[in-house]
A and B are shown apart, each in its own frame.
Chain A
């Protein structure tokens, strides 16, 4: 079937070629005669009119395209599932590898983005309680090296910045004292301390020192007197062990 069609077309071409070449020759001669006998003004007019017609045709074509293309494209897109097409045919990983994210971020005006965000609305939508319930605070605290954190804190500098006078000025000492039951505290302290025993001990310790001294001295004096009496009475005294 196809071979027959091709043969018919070849035959027609063979037959038409001389006729067409003759016709073209005649048209060329006619055009040459016309050009020789037509004035330049007429040619200019024609060229100008041609240009006008061309411009009009272009405008109409643009309008036609503008009028025709959007519904056609919409219909086409509606027919096709673009997401699936992209997923099937586009290597997104490859594209992502090509992206210079740093450059993108550098170009982004983050301040402007943030300025556009309604943070209050975002916060309104956040349920903090749920988030906190989900947090394992023990684990978080356990993972923090508190010693290292404490070591980094310059307490001296912080304390130097604190104004003790201002702090004390803010404390209402009278109110604090009014809340304390000083009498009860004093009673409790006195109850806890056995004052008579302290007095007994202290005076006892002092007096016992003095008493021991007196006893020692009197004992030595007894001995000395006994030796003296023995000597006077010429009494033999046993040797001390």
Chain B
């Protein structure tokens, strides 16, 4: 098996960076969730209010649940989490089609439970992690599809004016 098979699939560095960005996003989202829940609690009973102090297990499980939910939605809808968008990669089925909800959920759960499986990407000639092999997915470079889909297009240099009918 030659390394040529992995051509077009994203390598370990890119995927680690994307995962790091996603991890930060998940932490921020969880913190937001925590503050939101705390706020509701305060409004519910302000006199007996105390800052909630969840234990390590609760915190870890919450983080994992948020991450799984976030990744499931991202992969099932666009194939891209925020980190994947930033790094220009996309998670697809091996048939190069978008993942279904079930496959996205399975992949998210495996990623959250066994994140170390990502390192297999460096060894795998096809640049696939354990999660990819388990669920039947690939992570591809998809940066060129960005043009025209997002505002990150430096070609547009004209001064934007509203076009209104007078």
Separation of A193 and B160 alpha carbons in the complex (Å): 7
Separation of A236 and B5 alpha carbons in the complex (Å): 12
Q: Contact between B123 and A229 (Cβ–Cβ < 8 Å)?
A: yes
User: 13 A-B pairs, CB-CB below 8 angstroms?
Assistant: A193-B160, A198-B159, A214-B17, A214-B87, A218-B11, A218-B87, A219-B141, A221-B14, A226-B6, A229-B122, A237-B2, A237-B3, A238-B4
Q: Which residues of B contact A (CB under 8 A)?
A: 2-4, 6, 10-14, 17, 86-88, 122-123, 125, 127, 141, 143, 150-154, 156-157, 159-162
Q: Contact between B162 and A194 (Cβ–Cβ < 8 Å)?
A: yes
On chain B, the residues within 8 Å of A236 by CB distance are 2
Majority secondary structure of chain A interface residues (helix, strand, loop or mixed): helix
A233 contacts partner chain B, Cβ-Cβ < 8 Å? yes
On chain B, the residues within 8 Å of A238 by CB distance are 2-4
Least CB separation from B9: chain A residue: A222
> How many residues belonging to A are interface residues under a CB distance threshold of 8 Å?
30
Q: Contact between A226 and B161 (Cβ–Cβ < 8 Å)?
A: no
Q: Contact between A215 and B13 (Cβ–Cβ < 8 Å)?
A: no
Q: Contact between A215 and B88 (Cβ–Cβ < 8 Å)?
A: yes
Q: Contact between B152 and A208 (Cβ–Cβ < 8 Å)?
A: yes
Q: Contact between A235 and B151 (Cβ–Cβ < 8 Å)?
A: no
Q: Contact between B154 and A208 (Cβ–Cβ < 8 Å)?
A: yes
User: Given that A194-B162, A229-B123, A238-B3 are contacting pairs, would A223 and B151 also be in contact in the complex, using a CB cutoff of 8 Å?
Assistant: no
**Looking at the complex, which one of A192, A204, A208, A221 makes contact with B161 (CB distance below 8 Å)?**
A192
User: Given that A235-B2, A238-B3 are contacting pairs, would A194 and B160 also be in contact in the complex, using a CB cutoff of 8 Å?
Assistant: yes
